[in-house]
Amino acid sequence: MWNYSDKVIDHFMHPRNVGVIENPNAEAEVGSIACGDMLKIQLKVDDEGIIRDAKFKTFGCGSAIASASILTEMIIGKHVDEVAKITNKDIAEALGGLPEEKIHCSVMGRDALEAALANYRGHTRKTPEEEDHSKLICRCFGVTENKIRRVVQENNLKTVEQVTHYCKAGGGCGACHSEIEDIIDDVWKVKAAERCERPEKPKQLTNIQKIALIQDTVEREIRPALRADGGDIELIDVEGDKVLVALRGACAECPASPVTLKGYVEQKLREFVSDGLHVEVVSQ
C-alpha cells in the first residue's frame, strides 16, 4: 500500500476544481489512456494575465487526481508568469510529498500546466518529438531525450529506476534502459565538467575556515585519487600558507611523489582553497 500523505488523501477524496470551463482561453491534455493516466486542464486568464479559474479532469490513480487538484489551487489567482515557474517538485511538496514511484503524477501536472500556458500564448503542442525536437527515447510512454534530461537535472536523478518513477521512461518494455543510462551519464559528465571549470573559491577566509576547507579538499578531492593508486595522504598541520602533509602507502616510496605533491596535491589545494598555498612533506 502506498504511503500517501494526509494531503494527498484529502485531495483525492475531495478533489477541488473538477470540471470544465465554458470558453476557456487556455487548455491542454497530457498523457493517454494507454499510459494509465491522463490530465485535461482548462484555464480562464483575464486581461492582466491573472488566472481567474482553473478546472481539470483526470483519468488516473489517487496521486494523479490529487496532483491535478492541488495544481489548480496553486495557480488560481496568480499571474501566468508566476505560475510558469512551478516545477513538479513544488507540486509534490504542496502535497506533503509523494512516494518516489508516484513522482510522475506531479510531472504530469507540471507538463499539463506548461502545455496550457503555451496554448494561452498561442502555441500549439504537437507530439512529444515535434514539441521539443529531441529524439524519442521511450517508445512505450512517448518520452523524449530532452524531457529525460530535464527530470534528471531538476531532480538530481542517478538511476534508470528513478527516471522511470519521475517521467515513466523505461517503465514499459525496457529496451531503452541503456539509452537512459547514457543520458544520465551525459548529464552528470557535463555537470562535473562545469564544476571543474569554475571552482567556487571563497575570497576571504579565517584561519579556521581555511583549515576546514583544506581538510575537506584533502578528503574529497585528493585522497580518493591517491588511494586509487594504492597510496594515501595525511594532513599533519597548517602553518600560515604552508600545508604539512605525510605521504603513506605506495606514495611514500614512489619516486614520482614530488611530482604528485606539487603537480597534483598543491594544485588541487590552490584550486579549491587559496592561490598562495604550498605543500611540504613531513616524515611522520
Partner 1 sequence: MSVIYLDNNATTRVADEVLEAMLPYFCQYYGNPASMHTFGGQVEKEIVRAKERIVSLLGISDITEIVIMSCGTESDNAAIHGTLESYPHRRHIVTTKVEHPAVLNLCRHLSRSGYQVTELPVDSEGMLSLDELRAAITENTAIVSVMYANNETGVIFPIEEIGQVVKEKGSMFHVDAVQAVGKIPLNLATSSIDLLSLSGHKLHGPKGVGALYVRKGTRFKPFMIGGHQERGRRGGTENSGGIIGLGKACELAEAHINDENTRVKALRDRLEKALLTSVPNVRLNGHKAHRLPNTTNVSFEYVEGEAILLLLDSHEIAAASGSACTSGSLEPSHVLRAMGIPFTFAHGSIRFSLSVYNTEKEIDTVIRVVPEIIAKLRAISPYWKEATAKTKARGAGQPTRKAAS
Question: Which residues here bind partner 1, judged by CB under 8 A?
Answer: 9, 12-13, 15, 18-19, 29, 33-40, 57-62, 64-65, 101-102, 104, 140-141, 164, 168, 171-172
Known active-site residue 176: no
Q: Which residues pair with 40 in a beta bridge?
A: 29, 57
Q: Which of 61, 105, 140, 173 is catalytic?
A: 105
Q: Rounded to a whole number, what is the distance in angstroms from the first to the last CA of the chain?
A: 58
Known active-site residue 196: no
Please, what is the Cα angle at 91 between 109 and 111, to 5 degrees? 25
Output phi, psi for 42, to 5 deg: -130, 140
Q: Which of 35, 138, 167, 176 is catalytic?
A: 35
Residues serving a catalytic function are: 35, 105
